[in-house]
Structure 1
């Protein structure tokens, strides 16, 4: 069965436009038909057609990124292939027993708990949609349960390591000079200062920088807009890049992109990941993290500094406070201090 992924769009979660990044800022046109990808030849049309309608509805009505759509498609194609392999050739013939059999097969294949939960969530969404659009009289997945994932705190860096990371990047940029060094310092400062996702960083346009209020306008998952505070060092690094570095790299393909690659197009997310990994390798004892590690570090350090969880939730763009709690943690000392300060009989 061929589960090849969909092409990645130019600007994924929260990214506006119709271009797809090349290896370092190149661009190509993203097409809806191309994004549908290949499907198994053995899949009955009565199973495949509702899936295509569902994905199209997610794209047009909810504005989900192609990365998210690709994950939905992969998970649901796996389910439909399982159903077809067990003689189910129409969506109306699916029942809870079929879905439980598929989930059990996935578990027997050694899928991680997080994978099982994600795939179960995809199935729930698909069949709720099928019931809501009257393709099915009832939702066969309503009673489907999946294993709860183990929630582990991701690795992060200390405040000292974050400081060293940025100081080293500034030193390297000063020694080597050139626009690329200025760009790398600016994007590292922005990532750590704001906690934006890598797709949101690459999706920034020049008009999204509000210097007067010192905030960035960010378009997150589902094209949801939010404003994120920008610290003074990050704003100064960004201004230096825009004034002295970007003009040397920008070209016809740059558009309004804040960060551009060496070939002049909007910066690719993969390039940002390489920059972050390379910068962290210069910091003694720091874990090997990507851009999301800086997002987690920003949230952690805010909480350690006394920020409330709701404010951090807003800055990260999380729809649920529970998600923020997974990405953040506080020290025992801070919890003890809060208890001593707040409890009347502490």
Structure 2
């Protein structure tokens, strides 16, 4: 008579991890776990820079040394950042990164409290105008800047239109696939946008941008590759493969065309331009918040310049 199989033994025999690897993973410090859980590349890079700076300042070399950090260490680091003339935004962001790490350590019971809490941070600077928004005439000039009917020209016109009409982040534009461009919602073409934190939003496709993307795909020839990148890098006006154009490539593209026109800007200015233009034309701010993928409406208000327009001043409401 056959003895019943031991389920634990069966699972052990079929394991994909070796015993050594299993034990090694069970010993991973929570500090390393926290960093491994940062899936957004931009966030990961920024947080890594912040934590490295703190480790260099305090002399921390091993992960478990974070568990003896006190508020005094954090305050000393903050003051050192001020001495190094880091701006308020940078200091707040670096403290937030460190606070995020200690929140995770608290959750894992590796520390009893978060030493960053209670540490005063620089006051919020007015962010208005930090990322310059283009005027309407400048935006039109930028849309017309790529001239001719080459593959590069058609691609660049489509990229600029996608940024200016939909207020996408560089990373969001680079993640777009051909399929993301073909969505329909209630009969209206939409872009499926993969935003920060793994959040997905659907943005109605502007007809002007849609037409330019169609022209680009027709000449590029990858319109049937649904899972492939929508916008791809070029070399000598020829596609270099199926990979997506990089955020750095987008930045250089915008900077090159804007410099030719006499106003050097980065790609984020096109997001600011789209948001400001929509609000100036009476778009509902809550809808703009959703459109931009902002978690907090306070971030969206940065782009709302209506309160500063002279024509909206109470001065012109006075009538005797």
Q: Is the 8 A contact 2:31 2:105 kept in 1?
A: no
Counterpart selection for 1:115 from 90, 104, 107: 90
Identify the residue that residue 238 of structure 1 maps to in structure 2.
Answer: 213
Paired residue total: 280
Which whole-Å deviations, capped at 9, do the CAs of 1:70-97 have from their partners, x for residues lacking one? 21112112222323379x9733322111
Q: Which residue of 2 aligns with 1:41?
A: none
Q: Tell me, what secondary structure is at the counterpart of 1:218?
A: strand
CA positional deviation for 1:251: 12
Structure number with bigger Rg = 2
* Contact kept? 1:218, 1:228, Cα under 8 Å: yes
- The answer for the alignment partner of 2:169 in structure 1 is 197
Give yes or no for the alignment of 1:298 onto 2:274.
yes
Deviations 1:66-125 (A, max 9, x none): 221121112112222323379x97333221112111211221222211111111111111
Q: Give yes or no for the alignment of 1:185 onto 2:160.
A: no
Question: Does the CA contact (< 8 Å) of 1:99 and 1:144 recur in 2?
Answer: yes
- Match of 2:283, SS state, is coil
User: Are residues 1:54 and 2:26 paired?
Assistant: no
Identify which of structures 1 and 2 has the higher relative contact order when contacts are C-alpha pairs closer than 8 Å and 6+ apart. 1
Structure 1 pair 50–334 and aligned structure 2 pair: CA distance change class (3 A) = farther
Query: Residue 267 in 1 paired to residue 245 in 2?
Result: yes
After TM superposition, the score normalised by the length of structure 2 is 0.79
The answer to whether the aligner puts 1:326 opposite 2:299 as a matched pair is no
What's the secondary structure of 2:201's corresponding residue? strand
Show the counterpart of 1:96. 71
Q: CA separation in 2, counterparts of 1:112 and 1:80?
A: 20
Q: Distance in 2 between matches of 1:260 and 1:84?
A: 43
Distance 1:138 1:273, change over 3 A: closer
Any unmatched runs of 5+ in structure 1?
A: 1-47
1:220 corresponds, among 186, 195, 204, to 195
SS of the aligned residue for 1:156 comes to coil
8 Å CA contact retained: 1:205, 1:256: yes
Q: Using the alignment, how far apart are the partners of 1:232 and 1:85 within structure 2? A: 54
- SS of equivalent residue, structure 1 residue 323: helix
Q: Structure 1-normalised TM-score?
A: 0.73
What are structure 2's unaligned runs of at least 5 residues? 1-27, 235-239
After TM superposition, list the pairs within 5 Å mapping 1:1-346 onto structure 2: 49-56=29-36, 58-59=37-38, 64-84=39-59, 90-152=65-127, 153=129, 154-169=131-146, 172-173=147-148, 177-209=149-181, 210=183, 212-243=187-218, 245-247=219-221, 256-262=228-234, 263-264=240-241, 265-284=243-262, 287-330=263-306, 331-333=308-310, 335-336=312-313
Q: What's the Cα RMSD here?
A: 2.9
Alpha-carbon contact 1:204-1:257 (below 8 Å) kept = yes
The one-character-per-residue Cα deviations of 1:109-160 (angstroms, maximum 9, x if unpaired) are 2221111111111111111111111001222222112112422322121011
SS in 2 for 1:214: strand
Report the Cα distance in structure 2 between the residues aligned to 1:89 and 1:233, rounded to whole angstroms.
55
CA distance in 2, matches of 1:334, 1:187: 34
Aligned-partner Cα distance in 2 for 1:187–1:157: 17
CA distance in 2, matches of 1:226, 1:241: 24
